[in-house]
Amino acid sequence: MLDAGQPQDALNRAAPAAQRGERSLSRSPIGWLRDVVVAIALALLIIAFVYQPVKVEGTSMAPHLVDQQRIFVNKFVYKFEPIERGDIVVFRYPIDPRKSFIKRVVGLPGELVEIRGGRVLINGQPLREEYVPAEESDHDDFPPLRLPANHYFVLGDHRRSSNDSRTWGTVHRQHIYGKAVFAYWPPERFGPIETTNGTK
């Protein structure tokens, strides 16, 4: 606000400047439309290069993920942070890299993994897996296996109907290309995908 004692000619010069400032703040519809288009284009680029839409096929991750559910996979997260137990990862099927699988990481490199009567043991200690419903578990055994460097032991949550590391072995780090982070379809499952590391 100008001082009341300021000369009149200063007041006269100030008024047009203020009016010019007000006009500069106004935007034409074309300007707003251009900004919206640029924002949408940037968002699509981020989604295209960082996130990949994936359709879940089968019931091996039920009830956490269901058949035909659509999710986003973060393709860059593991360039900045390590793969952790409990992560739901998407990877190239070791036997046929043309196919992609989605499973939960249970065993980490260097760990001793064993399954006794359906109970997963990590370095001899039972792993609490609250994400595996009792009705979906099994009572099978898996002999002790020391995971090599850069190899992960992955299992489906629906143990009775999952084709996983118990059948075809571990997954090398280079085959894991993303982490499941967000579900967008169906609407009732919309939201972030929670993971748990399983408390021993």
* C-alpha angle 121-125-127 in degrees, rounded to nearest 5: 60
Domain boundaries, given as residue ranges, for the chain: 8-48, 56-192
- Which residue among 75, 79, 103, 179 is the active-site one? 103
- Which residue among 24, 55, 60, 165 is the active-site one? 60
Q: What is the pLDDT of residues 153-196, one digit of tens each?
A: 999 999 998 999 999 999 999 999 999 999 999 999 999 998 77
CATH no., domain 56-192: 2.10.109.10
Active site residue 60: yes
Contact (CB, 8 A) for 176 and 83: yes
Residue whose pair of structure tokens reads 């099927």 in the numeric block: 93
Active site residue 103: yes
Q: Global pTM? A: 0.76
